[in-house]
Amino acid sequence: MLETTKLHLKQKDFLQLADFTSEEVHYLLETAQEMKAQQKQGIPHPHLSGKVLGMIFEKSSTRTRVSFEVGMLQLGGHAIFLSSKDIQLGRGESISDTAKVLSRYVDGIMIRTFSHESVEELAEHATVPVINGLTDLQHPTQVLADLLTILEHKGKLSGLKLSYIGDGNNNMAHSLMEGAVKVGMDISIASPPGYLPNGNITETAIAAGKETGACVVITNDPVEAIKDADVVVTDVWTSMGQEEETAKRLKDFAAYQVNQELCQHAKADYLFLHCLPAHRGEEVTAEIIDGPHSVVFDEAENRLHAQKAILKILLSK
């Protein structure tokens, strides 16, 4: 275990897992375990007493909004929900002006939006920490919770194999690649032609994997990807903002459903993860997501604990 009192994050913001060292990712996970243990034991941990988090939402949310609000409350602080429709950002105010103004009021900003460039611009102009709650390119807070869930159930991360089946060019696939290699976990992604992961993110993950001994495999063959997997992950085939592509995507991804037949190629004790919401009968069958290998609700709960670790570390600097 790392001595967390001697470790500090170099990053001001939490935008993507590629920004962090392997040691820093482990530090975040260890802090999340600590936060979770304290909550379960009823031990107060008001590390952010008097602190305020501003939360900008351009995309709707269940888990992100509730977990960040509850997390700030349990840490002794407060969270303010800011719908883009209700603030001046939705009426044309620039991101840079919004960042500068909010920095005068709050101690941190969480944003859930479409464009990753918007989050980067917000962080560039804000003088307080900015947390990426989701973009079309990245979903790092979810993947930190996924790593925490795998660690709890498997007792380790390094040396495991994670298989992601589905749309490789989505935020979960990208953040899973970045997170897996940081902790020494092999990752295989199976996607149809035309839906492969972002090339720059893939190259960065492969390079990071060389430092931790983790392997990245990108393939069109779901059986190849899932073979001997310790962890199986999927996501919806049609994300928010892609609704017009639904019919085409249902056809293109038909052979990439996570079902009993496909999962027979994984290890007998594999875990199944899904960031939710799920479309049963599309990307995954009910017998898998509601079956004995599924830990999706532990995974959902761990959004709270992982995000509390992020909040504690960044906002108490």
162 and 291 fall within a common domain: yes
Active-site annotation holder among 139, 249, 274, 293? 139
**Active site includes 65?**
no
How many other β-carbons are positioned within 10 Å of the β-carbon of residue 185? 26
**Active site includes 275?**
yes
Whether the pLDDT of residue 180 is over 90: the answer is yes
Residue-level pLDDT at 2: 41
pTM of the model: 0.96
Active-site annotation holder among 16, 142, 257, 307? 142
**Active site includes 142?**
yes
Calculate mean pLDDT across residues 131-140. Answer: 98
Say how far apart CA 111 and CA 142 lie, in whole Å. Answer: 14
How many other β-carbons are positioned within 10 Å of the β-carbon of residue 232? 27
Residue-level pLDDT at 260: 98
166 and 122 fall within a common domain: no
Whether the pLDDT of residue 175 is over 60: the answer is yes
**Active site includes 116?**
no
- 17-51 pLDDT, tens digit per residue, is 999 999 999 999 999 999 999 999 999 999 999 99
Spatial contact of 236 and 172, defined as CB atoms under 8 Å apart: no
**Active site includes 235?**
yes
163 and 198 fall within a common domain: yes
Residue-level pLDDT at 8: 66
Active-site annotation holder among 26, 249, 293, 303? 303
Whether the pLDDT of residue 248 is over 90: the answer is yes
Tell whether 91 is in a known binding site. Answer: no
Whether the pLDDT of residue 101 is over 80: the answer is yes
Tell whether 240 is in a known binding site. Answer: yes
Tell whether 149 is in a known binding site. Answer: no
93 and 229 fall within a common domain: no
Tell whether 275 is in a known binding site. Answer: yes
- 1-19 pLDDT, tens digit per residue, is 344 444 567 889 999 999 9
Extended beta strands in the chain, E state: 52-57, 78-83, 108-112, 130-134, 161-165, 186-190, 216-219, 231-234, 271-274
**Active site includes 242?**
no
Tell whether 249 is in a known binding site. Answer: no
77 and 170 fall within a common domain: no
The CATH number covering residue 222 comes to: 3.40.50.1370
Q: Identify the weakest region by mean pLDDT among 64-68, 92-96, 256-260.
A: 92-96
35 and 83 fall within a common domain: yes
Residue-level pLDDT at 3: 43
Tell whether 31 is in a known binding site. Answer: no
Q: How many domains does the chain have?
A: 2
Mean pLDDT of the chain: 95
Residue 230, domain extent: 140-297
Residue-level pLDDT at 201: 98
Residue-level pLDDT at 1: 39
Bridge-partner residues for 232, per DSSP?
163, 272
Residue-level pLDDT at 89: 83
Considering just the CA atoms, what is the radius of gyration of the chain in Å?
19
